Amino acid sequence: MTGTRPRAYPTAEQDAAAATRAVDTPQTRSASYRLAFADSDFLLRDELRPVRLQLELLKPELALAEAGIDSTIVVFGSARIPDADTARAAAEDAAGQAAADPGDPDKARRAAITRRVVEKTRYYDEARRFAGFASRAGSSVPDHDYVVVTGGGGGIMEAANRGAAEAGADSIGLNIVLPYEQVPNPYITPSLSFQFHYFAIRKMHFLMRARALAIFPGGFGTLDELFDALTLIQTGKIAPIPVLLFGAPFWRRVLSFDAMVEEGVIAPEDADLVTYVETAEEAWTAIRAFYGET
């Protein structure tokens, strides 16, 4: 038997369209008469949080599966580390303000911080180059492998999506709704640009297809993602994957895994869950070695 069997019932889309053609009466204008799945007020009720969690997990999962994405390389890092030109312009502005008001300690502090950000712009360049390595490697195999995924914002995230775009590859952005405006960077593949309400679901999507984590200098958000991944690996909730920390001087200054071992709060082997790297080439070599690739 060939052909597709006709549907026994209308699709949800057809019923939603039919519902908009209802005769205008007090009854049809009532909120109670709306189709539940088309009623945004209903879906936003506190009691519907479990449904929203499920929808937020399912929507990106279906899109990524339909795109044939088999594995990803996740890039984390600060949104506050821009490209060199942008950083230098900010540093020059801060220096000018400090020079004009030498008695203001806040302006002097800001000038010092912006100078340090300029020094860290090399990580923008390395993230961009690293994403290029991953994207070119992924495009060389039959499956849609090693697709770069970021948090979707600026700084290091922008650099990684940019590197993938320059390699002619797709890349993913997982943005999150924040109290201040956050928009996707322009290098994300539009059909793979997602927005989340729940941090927990977003974290799941970072790791569900991850083959490696490349973590550049960053703040609370970067540390949150780093320790979430390390905890899952340490406890066996996910299989071990390479966790690459770009910039040993930065990471050893802000974190001391050795101190945690000495204090007895992690095991000595837990400190070996991370690998320090400085360049895109070094990181890519570490990933290939982890998976026994030549």
Q: Do 199 and 231 fall into the same domain? A: yes
Q: Is 38 among the domain residues? A: no
pLDDT beyond 50 at 33: yes
> Could you tell me if residue 186 is inside a domain?
yes
Query: Residue 193: in which H helix or E strand, if any?
Result: strand 193-196
Is residue 1 over pLDDT 60?
no
**Domain co-membership, 233 together with 210:** yes
Question: Do residues 233 and 134 both lie within one domain?
Answer: yes
CA distances from 188 to 45, 191, 196, 283 (A): 32, 8, 15, 22
Q: The CATH number of the domain where 148 resides is what? A: 3.40.50.450
Looking at 73, 93, 118, the residue that finishes a domain is 118
Q: How many distinct structural domains can be found in the chain?
A: 2
pLDDT at 140 over 70: no
User: What is the model's pTM?
Assistant: 0.91
Residue 155 belongs to a domain: yes
144 and 276 inside one domain: yes
Higher pLDDT, 196 or 9: 196
Kindly state whether residue 13 falls inside one of the protein's structural domains: no
| Statement: residue 138 has pLDDT above 90 | no
Helix (H, G, I), strand (E, B) or coil at 148: strand
Residue type, 266: I
Q: What is the DSSP string of 14-57?
A: HHHHHHTT----HHHHSGGGS-GGG-HHHHTSGGGHHHHHHHHH
Instruction: Note down the domain range covering 104.
Output: 84-118
pLDDT digits (tens, 9 = 90+) for 280-293: 999 999 999 999 88
Q: Is residue 195 part of a domain?
A: yes
Same-domain status, 92 and 175: no
| Domain finish residue from 118, 141, 170 | 118
Looking at the structure, do residues 223 and 280 belong to the same domain, yes or no? yes
Q: Residue 156, CB half-sphere, CA atoms under 13 Å: how many?
A: 27
Position 172 in a domain = yes
Residues 10-23 have pLDDT tens digits of 898 888 888 888 88
Reported as a single tens digit per residue, the pLDDT across 142-176 is 556 899 999 999 999 999 999 999 999 999 999 99
Q: Are residues 101 and 172 in the same domain?
A: no
152 in the same domain as 238: yes
Residue 111, pLDDT score: 94
- Give the distance from CA 63 to its chain's centroid: 16
Model confidence band, residue 3 (pLDDT cutoffs 50, 70, 90):
low
Residue 50 lies in a domain: no
Q: If you average pLDDT over every residue of the chain, what do you get?
A: 93
Query: Mean pLDDT, to the nearest integer, of 42-61?
Result: 96
Helices 84-100 and 105-119: angle between axes, nearest 10 degrees = 160
pLDDT in tens, 211-249: 999 999 999 999 999 999 999 999 999 999 999 999 999
Residue 51 has pLDDT above 60, yes or no: yes
Q: Is 264 left (phi over 0), alpha (psi -120 to 50) or beta?
A: left
Task: Examine the domain organization and report whether 201 and 105 are in the same domain.
Answer: no
pLDDT at 143: 59
Residue 273, CB-side half-sphere exposure with 13 Å CA sphere: 25
**Are residue 197 and residue 254 in the same domain, yes or no?**
yes
In a domain, 15, yes or no: no
Regarding whether 106 and 64 lie in a shared domain, the answer is: no
247-261 tens-digit pLDDT: 999 999 999 999 999
Band of the pLDDT at 57, cuts 50, 70, 90? Answer: very high
Is residue 92 located within the same domain as residue 231?
Answer: no
